[in-house]
């Protein structure tokens, strides 16, 4: 963690000083201004330099959030929600300074309605905490972005991950939220009904808004029944194209695969080294099927036939929980496995998402690009959604190395956009992809700015993210 503050934005010094005084008075030790706290709350799993907030408030309930936002609103000072700091595009940075609201103490599970398959949680609850809590109910929350992120952060970046191909993203799995607006008022976006046509979809407007339109104070989530049977498996392919063809056929035939992940040969090599495995070093799909004894057997057999047709190797699958856990642990450790390829280098994880028919092209062209530019990187993707990540390892102290990485990300994004894809499938825009959002959506970004200006005219809610104002 670098204790260096790279803030460059316009700071409202008088307002910040006033807010610090008020919050100290009101919250005592729950409000911290020490540099270690400030640094920690600008620190994320990102290559983007940290920009520290001026103070950190450990909120314990919606009333704290309202009070803090009202104070910040009165003095026109930025306020930034912080979950676990696992965002990847600088979402929690404070370019203009301001107050970080730490939600780690707002981690209560408020309500579980098992009959309705829903629950309501505070934003600081993490996905692992929620699933541990739910275990005895026979239910689970399926969204799995890798990191043990907070539900508030996952909602705010519209997270997804390995299970999205079966269960959807946060967009599909948040039923309602409560949020504090820039005026410091708490609103509720929807009731607990499974569907509604009642007015504008404020739930979906706040999901993915990265804390720029309101600060979440509770989230009502859909839950799923824990499948009676889960089987996992692995299948190697002679080429990325062959693996992607198998994915397309699987999706087209409506096989309800729960996970279908692609790892390129470089990633498999890294995983073998890191996790002590011995997979063939070639493009590989990791799969999981959820259902009953009968349905998972059917689905696995269907996939095996598809894989064979696409030139894949034998589809090895297991219902043994321990073996399955080991398999998926290797997949989840892919990030650390790649980092271990060059432990002294910095890492940048970027993602794009394309229509599934273009996934093979996009991955293959990206591999050729990496090779042509001599870049060290691994590729792992949520293939069923057409979404993949490139983890680049580079020397962040060398300007030409950084420039080379930035140029690569530009080419990757241009490639995805040319295929009618998006510049980010699940990481969000934050600070890192502001320019790409304009390339992707053009005039629609002006409309986003209009919405932002109407709900947050003083631009106090997480300013400098998603787009630049004015």
294-323 residues near a copy of itself, rule: CB under 8 A: 294-295, 298
**Residue number, 4 or 446, with CB nearest to a copy of itself:** 446
Using rule CB under 8 A, residue 252 touches a copy of itself: yes
Q: Are 341 and 393 in contact (CB under 8 A)?
A: yes
Using rule CB under 8 A, residue 437 touches a copy of itself: yes
**Residue number, 12 or 87, with CB nearest to a copy of itself:** 87
Joined together, the tokens standing for residue 435 give 């320019």
Residues 30-49 that bind a copy of itself (CB under 8 A): none
User: What angle do the packed helices 265-275 and 321-332 form, to 10 degrees?
Assistant: 120
Helix (H, G, I), strand (E, B) or coil at 221: strand
The interface region with a copy of itself, picked from 27-35, 54-62, 94-102, 426-434 by CB under 8 A, is 426-434
Which residues neighbour 23 within 8 Å (Cβ) at sequence distance 6 or greater? 31, 55, 57, 68, 71, 99
The interface region with a copy of itself, picked from 63-71, 342-350, 394-402, 418-426 by CB under 8 A, is 418-426
Residues 167-186 that bind a copy of itself (CB under 8 A): 168-169, 171-172, 181, 185-186
**Residue number, 109 or 455, with CB nearest to a copy of itself:** 455
Rounded Cα distance between 388 and 297, Å, is 28
**Residue number, 33 or 113, with CB nearest to a copy of itself:** 113
The interface region with a copy of itself, picked from 266-274, 338-346, 392-400, 443-451 by CB under 8 A, is 443-451
Site for a copy of itself (CB under 8 A): how many residues? 91
Using rule CB under 8 A, residue 442 touches a copy of itself: yes
The interface region with a copy of itself, picked from 158-166, 303-311, 363-371, 391-399 by CB under 8 A, is 158-166
Q: b/e per residue, 113-146, with b = 16+ CB within 10 A?
A: eeeebbbbbbbbbbbebbbebbeeeebbbbbbbb
Single residue of 28, 343, 443, 470 touching a copy of itself by CB under 8 A: 443
Give least dist CB 126 to a copy of itself, A: 19
Residue 224's DSSP bridge partners are 140
Give least dist CB 250 to a copy of itself, A: 11
Enclosing H/E stretch for 27: helix 13-27
Helix (H, G, I), strand (E, B) or coil at 149: coil
**Residue number, 186 or 406, with CB nearest to a copy of itself:** 186
Using rule CB under 8 A, residue 261 touches a copy of itself: no
> How many CB atoms are located within 10 Å of the residue 405 CB?
22
Using rule CB under 8 A, residue 450 touches a copy of itself: yes
Residue 105 burial class via C-beta count within 10 angstroms: exposed 0-12, middle 13-18, buried 19 and up: middle
**Residue number, 255 or 263, with CB nearest to a copy of itself:** 255
Using rule CB under 8 A, residue 213 touches a copy of itself: yes
Single residue of 42, 81, 106, 164 touching a copy of itself by CB under 8 A: 164
Using rule CB under 8 A, residue 453 touches a copy of itself: yes
Give least dist CB 410 to a copy of itself, A: 15
Using rule CB under 8 A, residue 426 touches a copy of itself: yes
Distance, C-alpha 42 to centroid of its chain: 17
Which residues neighbour 285 within 8 Å (Cβ) at sequence distance 6 or greater? 234, 235, 237, 243, 246, 247, 260, 261, 262, 263, 307, 312, 383
Rounded Cα distance between 467 and 429, Å, is 8
Interface characters, 352-391, with a copy of itself (x: CB under 8 A): -xxxxx---------------------------xxx----
Q: Are 265 and 281 in contact (CB under 8 A)?
A: yes
Rounded Cα distance between 87 and 295, Å, is 36
* Nearest alpha carbon to residue 398 among 343, 338, 345: 345
**Residue number, 98 or 214, with CB nearest to a copy of itself:** 214
Using rule CB under 8 A, residue 198 touches a copy of itself: yes
């Amino acid at each position: 963690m670098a204790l260096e503050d790279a803030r460059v934005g316009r700071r409202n010094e008088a307002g910040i000083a006033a807010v610090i005084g008020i919050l100290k008075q009101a919250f005592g030790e729950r409000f911290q201004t020490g540099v270690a706290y400030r640094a920690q709350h600008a620190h994320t799993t990102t290559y983007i330099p940290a920009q520290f907030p001026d103070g950190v408030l450990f909120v314990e309930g919606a009333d704290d959030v309202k009070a803090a936002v009202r104070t910040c609103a009165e003095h026109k000072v930025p306020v930034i929600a912080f979950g676990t700091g696992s965002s990847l595009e600088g979402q929690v940075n404070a370019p203009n300074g301001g107050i970080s609201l730490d939600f780690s103490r707002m981690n209560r599970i408020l309500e579980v309605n098992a009959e309705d398959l829903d629950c309501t949680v505070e934003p600081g609850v993490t996905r692992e905490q929620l699933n541990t809590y739910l275990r005895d109910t026979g239910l689970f929350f399926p969204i799995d972005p890798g990191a043990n992120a907070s539900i508030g952060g996952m909602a705010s970046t519209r997270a997804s991950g390995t299970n999205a191909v079966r269960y959807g993203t946060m967009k599909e799995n948040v039923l309602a939220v409560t949020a504090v607006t820039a005026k410091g008022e708490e609103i509720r976006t929807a009731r607990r009904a499974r569907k509604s046509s009642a007015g504008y979809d404020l739930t979906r407007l706040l999901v993915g808004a990265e804390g720029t339109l309101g600060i979440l104070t509770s989230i009502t989530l859909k839950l799923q029944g824990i499948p009676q049977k889960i089987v996992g498996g692995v299948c190697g392919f002679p080429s990325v194209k062959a693996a992607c063809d198998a994915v397309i056929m699987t999706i087209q035939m409506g096989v309800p695969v729960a996970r279908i992940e692609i790892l390129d040969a470089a990633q498999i090599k890294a995983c073998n080294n890191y996790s002590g495995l011995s997979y063939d070093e070639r493009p590989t799909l990791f799969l999981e099927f959820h259902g009953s004894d009968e349905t998972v057997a059917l689905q696995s057999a269907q996939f095996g036939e598809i894989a064979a047709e696409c030139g894949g190797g034998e589809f090895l699958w297991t219902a043994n929980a321990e073996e399955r856990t080991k398999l998926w642990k290797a997949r989840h450790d892919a990030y650390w496995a790649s980092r271990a390829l060059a432990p002294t280098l910095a890492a940048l994880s970027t993602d794009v998402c394309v229509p599934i028919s273009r996934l093979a092209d996009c991955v293959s062209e990206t591999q050729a690009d990496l090779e042509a530019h001599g870049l060290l990187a691994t590729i792992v993707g949520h293939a069923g959604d057409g979404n993949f990540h490139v983890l680049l390892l580079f020397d962040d102290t060398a300007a030409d190395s950084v420039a080379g990485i930035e140029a690569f990300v530009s080419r990757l994004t241009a490639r995805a956009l040319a295929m009618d894809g998006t510049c980010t499938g699940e990481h969000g825009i934050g600070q890192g992809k502001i320019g790409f959002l304009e390339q992707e959506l053009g005039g629609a970004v002006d409309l986003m700015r209009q919405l932002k200006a109407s709900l947050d005219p003083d631009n106090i809610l997480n300013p400098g993210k998603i787009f630049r104002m004015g």
